Amino acid sequence: MISVFVYGTLLAGESNHHVAAPFLISVQPGSIFGRLYDVGPYPALTLTEGDHKVIGEWFEVTEEGLQAMDILEGYNGPGASNEYERVWVSDVNGLREGWAYIWETISGLKEINSSSWRAYSAQKNK
C-alpha cells in the first residue's frame, strides 16, 4: 500500500480520477503546506513551510496505481526529465506521510488564491 497526496484532477470526482480509481484502497481527506498555481486545465503545487495549506485527499494505492499516476503526471524517475517531481510530504497534522507531485519551477504561472483546486476550478469554470 502506497500513500499519495492528490490535490487536483486526480481527486475523487475530477477529470483524471479514473486513472487512480481501479487501484484505490482508501481515500481520506488531508492537507499539506504549499501553494497552488494555475496551469490551465490542472494545478501545480509548490511546497512551503507552514504558511499556506493545500486541501486534497490521501490515496492509498497499489504499486500499479502509483505507476499509472506517474505516467499521468509525467514523472519518469529521479534525475530524469519530469513534468512533475514526486516528493515525500507530510500532512499538516503530522499524522500521515506519502508522495505528492510538485512543480519546481512556477515562473509565469498564476498563483491560485484558494487552498482548494475544486473550489477554484468551480469558480473559474462559471
Whether residue 73 lies in the annotated active site = yes
Grouping H, G, I as helix, E, B as strand and the rest as coil, residue 37 is strand
- The grid coordinates listed for 81 are 526529465
Buried b (16+ CB within 10 A) or exposed e, 65-94: bbebbbebbebeeeeeebebebeebebbee
Q: Which of 57, 63, 73, 83 is catalytic?
A: 73
> CA 22, CA 45: separation in Å to the nearest integer?
24
The candidate with the shortest Cα–Cα distance to 121, out of 29, 26, 55, 31, is: 55
- The grid coordinates listed for 72 are 499521468
> CA 35, CA 37: separation in Å to the nearest integer?
7
The set of catalytic residues is 73
